[in-house]
Structure 1
């Protein structure tokens, strides 16, 4: 009986205590294919940062791609994020969720971006977004994730609102 109680206590503690591995909040975003870009891998000078291309399928079995470029102007406190979605499938349309999180060394979210796209067969869509923050220089890693949003147009929008509220506080 004591072994069972210890196991239950350990499991409970693991669930309620913060985890350093996922302190950045990615665990809240379910089913995303994440890539981490450490800012040390980005080209930079004292004023700007340009990060490597994110290139990922949103549906692993189809020829459907998300490409993202990110650059930061540290003087202006502005992050530029350009998304290009390419649906090369002749018949499949999808809702696609794309999320980017910028975190500091402690794993705290500094910036967040979320977009839910509806992509038609053979469609290419590209848009640029600007995110302003006086704390850009404290970002140490960018996490970018994408997935097929099977629940439709507003999937993960409530979560995004909660994340933004947490950043503002």
Structure 2
């Protein structure tokens, strides 16, 4: 008999968008949302709001992913908002954003492992600097999952990919 956690992961993966590059990169048990970079749901303070979803399907726990391109510094700033409406449950939330060019090649990677406290909402921003032109970004694949505080395998995966891309 599967545990609730195993069932939760299976249901999340069933609803996940197909995302070949992140899957090849070795990200395990992430639920993916893949959108064209111009498919903004909204624009807030110059940030393209690309994804608004739940990180836990069984609780009122939500995230949004936004990004802003800066061609002058060749950087991408990601903004993550975690909104935990569950006043009893806290989670460690891992978020990955894979930035792809028109050919489907990964040109940038973002990773965060942040705590979502019960009944709290907050946003954080983090920049990355690419070695290719930020204007080449055509698609963004955003993956989320509940993870542990260290998420060592995910952090190692991020640093490996970041080095391969020569990203700062």
TM-score of the pair, normalised by structure 2: 0.75
**How far did 1:39 drift?**
2.6
Which runs of 5 or more residues in structure 1 are unaligned? 1-20, 44-48
Partner of 1:9: none
Q: Which has the larger radius of gyration?
A: 1
Q: 2:108 aligns with which of 99, 105, 111?
A: 111
Residue correspondence of structure 1 range 14-163 to structure 2 within 5 A: 22=20, 24-27=21-24, 28-42=26-40, 51-135=48-132, 136-149=134-147, 152-155=148-151, 156-163=154-161
d(CA) in 1 for partners of 2:49 and 2:81?
Answer: 14
d(CA) in 1 for partners of 2:23 and 2:63?
Answer: 18
Aligned length: 141
**How far did 1:139 drift?**
1.7
What is the SS of the residue equivalent to 1:90?
coil
**How far did 1:105 drift?**
2.5
**How far did 1:40 drift?**
4.4
TM-score of the pair, normalised by structure 1: 0.74
Partner of 1:164: 162
Q: Is the 8 A contact 1:37 1:51 kept in 2?
A: no
